[in-house]
Structure 1
């Protein structure tokens, strides 16, 4: 049974959907504990990696024979792309990031995306959702499962218990506003959330706390 919990150095958690297989692994050790996600199209075997955060060998082992065709970096912070150069060198995967964060990532971005763009691998399509505040170019990725509930990878913009860290009241207002409007205002409670660190959650579990988050300012 997939729970969304993984531990540094531990095995991946595997979620089997009708058309997509999700592999979640914690990389970077206890000091960072970043989540990396390898998504595999059941029909073609093609894979997409969300955040080549660290430990390239463990990421590549999780990918298996692939082929890994795209790597999406959710935002510019280095703890989300420390393994990117090596994984790209070993796989020749296409790099993807939002246009506003791409210049701050040391590995060149081959495909710059913006709000509403689609990222494809095999027969799977993910929608890019731009969430401004944690960084200028932070993105979430939405898989609208044709056979079930939506699935949402949020990077560091949304976690269990709140939105991501911001450095000013203006950035917080931007992030909470985007999260409320583009995520909670659009998607159903059963939407599964895969964050950049820590355990998974659902929009339904977090929705009752939106006013509390806005009131406390973080």
Structure 2
């Protein structure tokens, strides 16, 4: 079945096989959050992006092969409700950007711009995107045999950047970072996976960037 990225709360995960990595996208309730399990196809090592909620479903997705780390994209509670239970039952490391570490329910190792997180033989690059929260991050996987893949948390969605509570300084920081660090660095075929809802590509969203900046959200 062709991967579309369409998932619903309580439904089955959408699974995408890349050359070196398997991406399993699961929607958890009650806020339709996306959680992403990344599995290295050569080693079986696994990393979870956002233990958002419904720990039993996440643990079922993880299965018996273990979990190396849980990366939290930002400190908002709907992205870490299941973090403590998942970490306790798997022994995984908890990772978050240093500027959002105080917002998590458990101590976590801190990340910063340019760090890499291994997923077996693969690696995720940490990209700091200020604005939605002080320590929001995106995670970039450069597929050596295909297009880049980008996990954007709540900083970038199809149709706009993340919520900045109508704060002009926060919005300016976020739109500037998204334009410079994502659209300015990565090609149009970059596929991105947001913290809620459907996926998109940078190319599909790029023409709307001036409109997003002009409307201020």
**Of 138, 141, 156, which residue of structure 2 is paired with 1:140?**
138
Partner of 2:34: 35
Deviation of 1:79 (Å): 0.2
Deviation by residue 1:21-53 (Cα, 9 ceiling, x = unmatched): 000000013xx0000000000111110000000
May I ask how many residue pairs the two structures share in their alignment? 215
Partner of 1:18: 19
Counterpart CA distance in 2 for 1:66 and 1:152 is 24
Counterpart CA distance in 2 for 1:67 and 1:86 is 14
Runs of 4+ in 1 over 4 A off after TM superposition: none
Deviation of 1:121 (Å): 2.2
Deviation of 1:205 (Å): 0.3
Partner of 1:93: 92
Partner of 2:174: 175
TM-score, with normalisation over the residues of structure 2? Answer: 0.98
> Residue 38 of structure 2 contacts residue 119 of structure 2 at CA under 8 Å; is this kept in 1?
no
Partner of 1:9: 10
Q: Mind listing any 5+ residue stretches in structure 1 that lack a counterpart?
A: none
> Residue 189 of structure 2 contacts residue 202 of structure 2 at CA under 8 Å; is this kept in 1?
yes
Counterpart CA distance in 2 for 1:66 and 1:135 is 33
1:126 is paired with a residue whose SS is strand
Partner of 1:112: 110
Aligned pairs for 1:124-139 (under 5 A) are 124-139=122-137
Q: Mind listing any 5+ residue stretches in structure 2 that lack a counterpart?
A: none
Partner of 1:149: 147
